[in-house]
Amino acid sequence: MSLSTSWVSVPENSDFSLYNLPFGIFKTDKKGPRVGVAIGNEVLDLSYLEKKGYFKGIDLKDKKVFGRRYLNDFMALGKPVTNRIRERIFELLKSENDELRDHDKHRSRALFKQSEVRMMMPVKVGNYTDFYSSKEHATNVGTMFRDPDNALFPNWKHIPVGYHGRASSIVVSGESVRRPKGQMMPQGAEVPVFGPCRLLDFELEMAFITCKEVELGESVTTHNAEDHIFGFVLFNDWSARDIQKWEYVPLGPFLAKNFASSISPWVVTIEALQQFRVEGPEQDPKVLPYLEFEGKKNFDIDLEVSIMPGNGEEQVVCRSNFKHLYWNVNQQLAHHTVNGCNIQVGDMYASGTISGPTPESYGSMLEIAWQGTKPVKMSDGSERKFIHDGDTVIMRGHAKNNGMRVGFGEVRTKVLPATFYENEDN
Amino acid sequence: MSLSTSWVSVPENSDFSLYNLPFGIFKTDKKGPRVGVAIGNEVLDLSYLEKKGYFKGIDLKDKKVFGRRYLNDFMALGKPVTNRIRERIFELLKSENDELRDHDKHRSRALFKQSEVRMMMPVKVGNYTDFYSSKEHATNVGTMFRDPDNALFPNWKHIPVGYHGRASSIVVSGESVRRPKGQMMPQGAEVPVFGPCRLLDFELEMAFITCKEVELGESVTTHNAEDHIFGFVLFNDWSARDIQKWEYVPLGPFLAKNFASSISPWVVTIEALQQFRVEGPEQDPKVLPYLEFEGKKNFDIDLEVSIMPGNGEEQVVCRSNFKHLYWNVNQQLAHHTVNGCNIQVGDMYASGTISGPTPESYGSMLEIAWQGTKPVKMSDGSERKFIHDGDTVIMRGHAKNNGMRVGFGEVRTKVLPATFYENEDN
């Protein structure tokens, strides 16, 4: 089978091939936020296409759904509708389709260069959950802070461990993040101190977004979980390790995480990822029946993290893959709702740090520099144990298979220094 | 000074005196959700009053703010406006004011019996945080599960410990809650089991709601925290103790909490609580400067919890008081934002279980029945170590001072049995 191509130019290594068609929210100088689809280096304006009748025959219920500042209302239309929209766009953009291709006025108004638009938060996140689903990451953390011989807690292989995080502070790629301040208990100190976090870290994660409600008291199964998953983004779960260490007992991370998380702007649908399914790691011991699943539920998505110092070159510090996750998204969602917890459109569920089996594939500076004992040499001569002010952290991800490439673009975040505060010295 | 009275009849022990005037969302058989204020046994319809011109001269910006299904848009108008509305209602309802009192048609259409309306969720909760601010509760839990001689964790007296909870599953008084299912590791077992929670508990809490945004990277201080606090509700933080015990390490409670939390429907403003301010417990050791505060920041609010068995009489099992909290709401909000975490209108912050110093004042069955070792005798002859199916748990709270009474009404929740599930036996 030969692959279809688009009349829109798609560079060979573009994340946004005709087989991707991720949804996002963009704005231009002249017009406010609206729904777009990425193709090559361009953005297709769905609100314009809708107005010009290109979606005739698809029941959108709400004509203004492409003019909103978030994807939530669009996602809430349901998979039968959102998939038809995506299929229609695929048809419209195919090389042989002349409808839009040969309509000079419509084409020129429907397409924008990605370099000339501003990408916004794609969804209004109602509830945000962070899982802890990489065995390698949990093992590394347990080895460093507890016992190398019993690195995993007893519950870890039975439960997709997760916790609730802060929805309000999730920001989109391009937004800078300020180094947080907080309480820390330095090694050997007898009283805590207050000041800027000294051990600022990233966590390489991916997140999925739900598009279909589950009422309170109801549950999703591993079999129907995918009906609820609209798509995925890259997720940088910023972490203040020193604040975390002092605060997290016994109720979990709080201020160490809720100052910011950063996501990529394009939501890659689960439909676009079908070609990249693979088996996950073997689960031993056997999971409880509500966590059993059939089929390939992991995805082969190459991930990488780069750090670009304020005055330096970008440098890759991690190459990992989404396929390493021990717990898959079906299990995560089934577990999350097995107690009757309700699910809403626009909720976000991050994976936890995606570390692979080798040091090159560890997904956080904590692990890469192994608690500061193995600093990373940067091309400008400096060293990194954790993230410095002025550093830009860039995460990228893409899947590739039989010449088909489906990628996520990037989540790129510059770290600004902590602000002055009247109690700074305390 | 003699107290003002209302031309609306206010029974002597009513929570809803002229000095309270809490805001809520109600609906009637004939009309959908709208903003109301409780007075005596009645509800005043603010959307009707606005239409009839009773708020002329107050700049609402948005005329439809009282016709919404949540208080969020009203709260977002800001304290200068919301306080003027409350003061105007105080004037309108005073015995000597004849504007509404003597207008038969308006009066009869503006007032509804509370027994004839349905109360709804008062706010759309964007983000929900649960603190852990009662020293007595934290000490009791630490004594039971860890070490009576070191019951509090080292961070407890330095940090108002908190964590993020699930916003979507917060429901209003009157909504039943279904017993959750989940994974548990029974004492002595070698593998976890799945099934209905066996140790279902309430937690007596109060929660405040924010009405003024704080942008990402900014912080609230203990001095200006109250500008951000609209008011308070009673909060029942339902907890599945057996699920919690197995899941909570190392990232905190998740499914043990997120199946439901229940709140009272009337939001009592912080302005209505000014008369009931008291000193909190002494804080020793001295807190860090960003947690220092001036003035009386605790509130003397009597709280009680009753259990009503399916076929029995209501029976009080706990009498506590909001004043016992070690960390006050100003400190909670200052801590929450000291790292730059943003705050939105409609966010909710629960206190953590409010236990007092004596066994009669413990705020959860875990503590009251001391891990099942001291079961509570019920009037129908049964015993309670935790909550049974068919039980209704009722929390009430009110402040009283110099003949002035300001109360919260109640949060009343019936517990339904767990549903059948195909993997029930596993």
SS3 B194: strand
How much is the pLDDT for A251? 95
Domain ranges of chain B: 23-119, 128-416
Three-state SS string over A339-360 comes to: CCCCECCCCEEECCCCCCCCHH
Tell me whether residues A258 and B339 touch, CB distance under 8 A. Answer: yes
Judged by CB atoms closer than 8 Å, whether chains meet at B126 and A161 is answered as no
Q: What is the pLDDT of residue B311?
A: 85
Residue A329 CA to residue A277 CA, distance in Å, equals 12
Question: CB A194 to CB B127 under 8 A?
Answer: no
Do the beta carbons of residue B330 and residue B226 sit within 8 Å?
Answer: yes
Q: For residue B178, which phi and psi values (nearest 5 degrees)?
A: -95, 135
Q: What is the largest CA-CA distance in chain B?
A: 73
| E runs forming strands in A211-280 | 229-236, 239-240, 261-263, 268-269, 277-278
- What is the mean pLDDT of the segment spanning B217-224? 97
CA distances from A246 to A158, A210, A251, A253, A424 (A): 27, 33, 12, 9, 19
Provide, rounded to the nearest whole percent, the portion of chain A with pLDDT above 90. Answer: 95
Contact list in B for residue A351 (CB cut-off 8 A) is none
Chain segment B91-140, per-residue pLDDT in tens = 999 999 999 999 999 999 999 999 999 999 999 999 999 999 999 999 99
The contacts of residue A100 (CB under 8 Å, 6+ apart) are A49, A54, A92, A93, A106, A107, A110
Nearest alpha-carbon partner for A158 in A138, A140, A144: A138
- Tell me the per-residue pLDDT of B411-420, one tens digit each, with 9 for 90 and over: 999 999 998 7
pLDDT at A139 over 70: yes
Choice among A34-38, A99-103, A401-405, B212-216 with the minimum mean pLDDT: A401-405
Considering the candidates B106, B137, B335, B398, report the single residue annotated as catalytic.
B137
Quick: pLDDT tens for B57-89. 999 998 899 999 999 999 999 999 999 999 999
Neighbouring C-alpha atoms within 13 Å toward the C-beta of A262: 24
B145 close to A (CB below 8 A): no
Question: How many Å apart are CA A325 and CA A356, to the nearest integer?
Answer: 8
**What's the mean pLDDT in A54-62?**
95
CA–CA separation, B102 and B100 (whole Å): 6
Residue B152 burial by CB count (10 A; 0-12/13-18/19+): exposed, middle or buried?
A: middle
ipTM: 0.96
Question: In which band, very low, low, confident or very high, does the pLDDT at A2 lie, cut at 50, 70 and 90?
Answer: confident
The mean per-residue pLDDT over the stretch B227-238 comes to 98
Q: Does A178 touch chain B (CB under 8 A)?
A: yes
Question: pLDDT digit string (tens) for B332-345?
Answer: 999 999 999 999 99
Residue B391, class by beta-carbon neighbours within 10 Å (0-12 exposed, 13-18 middle, 19+ buried)?
buried
Which residue in chain A is spatially nearest to B179 when comparing CA positions? A339
**For this structure, is A336 an active site residue?**
no
Mean of the per-residue pLDDT values of chain B: 96
**Smallest Cβ distance to B251: which of A163, A340, A344?**
A163
* Backbone conformation region of residue A56, classed left if phi is above 0, alpha if psi is from -120 to 50, else beta: beta
The C-alpha angle with vertex B374 and arms to B372 and B376, in degrees rounded to 5, equals 95
Which amino acid makes up residue A355? Answer: S
The shortest CB-CB distance from B155 to any of A166, A167, A249 is to A249
Query: Is-cis flag, bond preceding B281, omega within 30?
Result: no
- Rounded to whole angstroms, the Cα distance separating A120 from A171 reads 9
For residue B326, what are its two tokens? 């070690």
8 Å CB contact of A341 and B219? no
Burial B320-331 (b: 16+ CB within 10 A, else e): bbbbbbbbbbbb
Q: Do B178 and A340 touch (CB under 8 A)?
A: yes
CB pair distance less than 8 Å for A155 and B246: yes
Nearest chain A Cα distance for residue B389, angstroms: 15
Percent of chain B with pLDDT over 70: 98
**Which of B159, B339, B415, B419 should be substituted to probe chain A, the one whose Cβ sees the most A Cβ atoms within 10 Å?**
B339
Could you say which DSSP state residue A234 is in?
Answer: E
User: Residue B231 in contact with residue B268, Cβ under 8 Å?
Assistant: yes
Strand-pairing partners, residue A278, are: A298
Q: Is A167 in contact with A350 (CB distance < 8 Å)?
A: no
Residue B79, CB half-sphere, CA atoms under 13 Å: how many? 16
Q: Which residues of A123-135 are buried (b: 16+ CB within 10 A; e: fewer)?
A: bbbbbbbbbbbbb
CA distance B101 to B121: 29
Question: In angstroms, rounded to a whole number, what is the distance separating the alpha carbons of residues A426 and A317?
Answer: 34
Integer Cα distance of A351 and A321 in angstroms: 12
pLDDT at residue A351 greater than cutoff 60 = yes
Residue type, B303: L
Encode pLDDT of A156-210 as tens digits: 999 999 999 999 999 999 999 999 999 999 999 999 999 999 999 999 999 999 9
Q: How confident is the model at residue B1 (pLDDT cuts 50, 70, 90)?
A: low
Alpha-carbon distance B268 to B232, whole Å? 5
3 state DSSP class of A1: coil
Query: Span A23-119: which CATH code?
Result: 2.30.30.230
Q: Are A86 and A93 in contact (CB under 8 A)?
A: no
Q: How far is A287 from chain B (nearest CA, A)?
A: 10
The mean predicted confidence, pLDDT, of chain A is 96
* B425 DSSP β-pair partners: none
pTM for this entry: 0.97
Distance CA B162, CA B135 (A): 13
What is the mean pLDDT of the segment spanning B16-28? 98
Q: pLDDT-based confidence at A311, cuts 50/70/90?
A: confident
Q: How confident is the model at residue A425, as a pLDDT?
A: 44
The C-alpha atoms of residue B282 and residue A168 are separated, in whole angstroms, by 33
* Residue pair A405/A398 in contact by the 8 Å Cβ criterion: yes
Quote the CA–CA distance of A26 and A6 in Å, as a whole number.
Answer: 22
**With bands split at pLDDT 50, 70 and 90, how would you rate the model's confidence at A379?**
confident
pLDDT above 60 (res B421): no
Q: What is the pLDDT of residues A61-108, one digit of tens each?
A: 988 999 999 999 999 999 999 999 999 999 999 999 999 999 999 999
Say how many C-beta atoms besides its own lie within 10 A of residue A103's C-beta.
14
CA nearest neighbour of B254 among A357, A415, A224, A338? A338
The whole-number average pLDDT for the span B201-217 is 98
Q: Calculate what percentage of chain B has a pLDDT beyond 90.
A: 95
Please say whether the beta carbons of A335 and A289 come within 8 A. no
d(CA B44, CA B112) in angstroms, rounded, equals 7
Taking only the tens place, the pLDDT of each residue in B280-297 is 999 999 999 999 999 999
Catalytic residue among A137, A324, A335, A398: A137
CATH number for the segment(s) A128-416 = 3.90.850.10
Contacts of A414 (CB under 8 A, 6+ apart): A176, A177, A390, A391, A392
At A389-399, the pLDDT tens digits run 999 999 999 99
- Intra-chain end-to-end CA distance of chain A, in Å: 67
**C-alpha distance from A289 to closest chain B C-alpha (Å):** 6
pLDDT confidence bin for A421, thresholds 50/70/90: low
